[in-house]
Amino acid sequence: MPHHNTVFREVLKLVPWHRFEALVEGDDADARVRRLPTKVQFLALLYGQLSGAAGLREIVTALSSHEARLYHLGAAPVRRSTLSDANANRPFTVFTGLLELMMKQAHRGLRRKVAEAVYLIDATSVRLNRYSADWAQFSAGVCGAKVHVIYDADADQPIYAAVTAANVNDITAAHQMPVEPGATYVFDLGYYDYLWWAALDAAGCRIVTRFKSNTPLDVIEELAVVPTSNILSDRIGFLPARQAKSRRNPMQDAVREVRVRTDTGKILRILSNDLDAPAEEIAELYRRRWAIELFFRWVKQTLKITRFVGTSENAVRIQIAVALIAFLLLRLAQAAQKAVRSPLVFARLVRANLLHRRSIHNLLDPPPILQDQQQMSLALC
């Protein structure tokens, strides 16, 4: 029988370890560390994400039960208290730095023109318990954090992620996001800020978002629409010249309003600075926002960012970064094989076989022991 590494080891081959080691050295993450190197901490947390472990105790118990196979992974059994201390005190920048490198690496493989890039921007909230109140209190008795993401709709993966407390406004986080000149950015009402729109417009970016219900439009041109389509109107005009407190609106160029009736009968006012594209194209771009909602749902249901193994800001940032790294590794591993096309099915198969010795190319085949039993049964017949 041919030798196979464990599924976990095959997934770990996709991690750029030389870059990870450089991050550890650059942040002195292993300085004065005796028991738990940062690499072993990362492997333990990544195992927790891929296996679906519900907490530190479950991670520690599972790793201890597979001690014989950890040596070949560069890992080792860990103590719960030691892992907890590492999550609270080890610099989170090692993990966020690795995430950033892997997002760039995965995105670099998608060759296309910048004008064809469509980026979706949104944020999702995660609930924290009262022990995180010192940094993440949102209101009386409620604590939480936000994960702000730029999502590449064509590559089906994030290209930027940042974590803040839940009381940080979405547009505040957006001002810190990188902008790719010439790309298309699609976002919703949480990013309703004329100053930010003007910056995107000045960079040659196409904007697709929604009007607030009370935002007027000074119409200068009515465009024709197909009577039988779900496009109700297509107009070009100007936003109000003044904002609140008589401030000058920095978004002075003409914009587009496309009114669309959805399948549920709701009418949306879609705004864009693209005055030339067909109205159907503008409406379809806004409809693609659903992809980032599916991404958030997938990560929350499949990985572990709804139950946290630490309460400090450092521990939460580390866990979210490792969860997104796990997402990227699963996508890269799935792309390397052709047997399983569904991302959800592939993730479940990886979870079920994580420390079994088999190839990711054969996850749908019966386990080796079952294969031997079947062969013996056939030989006896």
Q: What is the secondary structure of 275-318 as a DSSP string? A: SSS-HHHHHHHHHTTHHHHHHHHHHHHHSSSSS-S--SHHHHHH
Cα 101 from chain centroid? Answer: 14
| Measured CA distances, 260 to 230, 265, 376 (Å) | 6, 9, 64
- Please indicate, yes or no, whether residues 284 and 336 belong to a single structural domain of this protein: no
Q: What's the token pair of residue 219?
A: 């119409």
Note whether 258 and 332 are same-domain residues: no
192 and 273 part of one domain = yes
**pLDDT tens across 48-94, in order?**
999 988 888 999 998 888 887 777 777 778 899 999 999 999 999 99
Statement: residue 267 has pLDDT above 60: yes
* Distance, CA of 379 to CA of 290 (rounded, Å): 53
Are residues 32 and 84 both part of a single domain?
A: yes
- Is 38 inside any structural domain? yes
Residues 21 and 83 in one domain: yes
Per the structure, the count of domains in the chain is 2
Residues 317, 293: Cα–Cα separation, whole Å: 21
Identify whether 218 is part of a domain.
Answer: yes
Are 332 and 282 members of one domain?
A: no
Q: What is the pLDDT of residue 20?
A: 96
Percent helix / strand / coil, the chain, rounded to 5: 45, 20, 35
pLDDT (0 to 100) of residue 310: 86
CB atoms within 10 A of CB 158: 23
Distances from the Cα of 186 to the Cα of 69, 73, 124, 214, 283, angstroms: 46, 41, 16, 21, 11
Residues 323, 283 share a domain? no
One domain, residues 284 and 316: no
**111: CB partners within 8 A, 6+ apart:** none
CA dihedral angle for residue 264, residue 269, residue 274, residue 277, rounded to 10 degrees: 40
Q: Classify residue 72: in a domain, yes or no.
A: yes
7-58: pLDDT as tens digits: 999 999 999 999 999 999 999 999 888 889 999 999 999 999 999 888 889 9
Which residue is associated with the tokens 């109700």? 232
- Enter the tokens of residue 80: 């719960």
Task: Look at residues 256, 288, 320 and tell me which one is the last residue of a structural domain.
Answer: 288
Instruction: Give the model confidence (pLDDT) of 108-135 as tens digits.
Output: 665 556 667 899 999 999 999 888 988 9
380 located within any domain: no
| Residue with the two structure tokens 């630490």 | 310
Closest alpha carbon to 88 in 323, 303, 319, 307: 319
Beta strand ranges found along the chain (DSSP E) = 118-128, 137-139, 142-152, 157-165, 184-186, 206-210, 218-223, 231-238, 255-261, 267-272
Question: Is residue 263 located within the same domain as residue 330?
Answer: no
- Residues in the chain, overall count: 381
Residue 292 has φ and ψ, to the nearest 5°, of: -75, -30
My answer on whether 192 and 284 are in the same domain is yes
**Mean pLDDT within 221-240:** 93
CA distance 284 to 287: 5
Based on the fold, state whether residues 279 and 357 are members of the same structural domain.
no
Its sign, for the CA torsion 254, 259, 262, 264, is: positive
Residue 198 lies in a domain: yes
The string of pLDDT tens digits covering residues 269-315 is 999 999 999 999 999 999 999 999 999 999 988 887 777 888 899 99
Same domain, 317 and 252: no
pLDDT per residue over 191-228, tens digit each? Answer: 999 999 999 999 999 999 999 988 999 999 999 999 88
Within-domain flag for 151:
no
State the average pLDDT over residues 143-158. Answer: 93
The model's pTM is: 0.89
Does the residue 240 lie in any domain? Answer: yes
State the residue range of the domain holding 226.
188-288
pLDDT of 112:
57
- Of residues 255 and 140, the one with the higher pLDDT is 255
In a domain, 209, yes or no: yes
Say if residues 119 and 186 touch (Cβ distance below 8 Å).
Answer: yes
Residue 207: half-sphere exposure toward Cβ, Cα within 13 Å? 29
176 pLDDT higher than 90:
yes
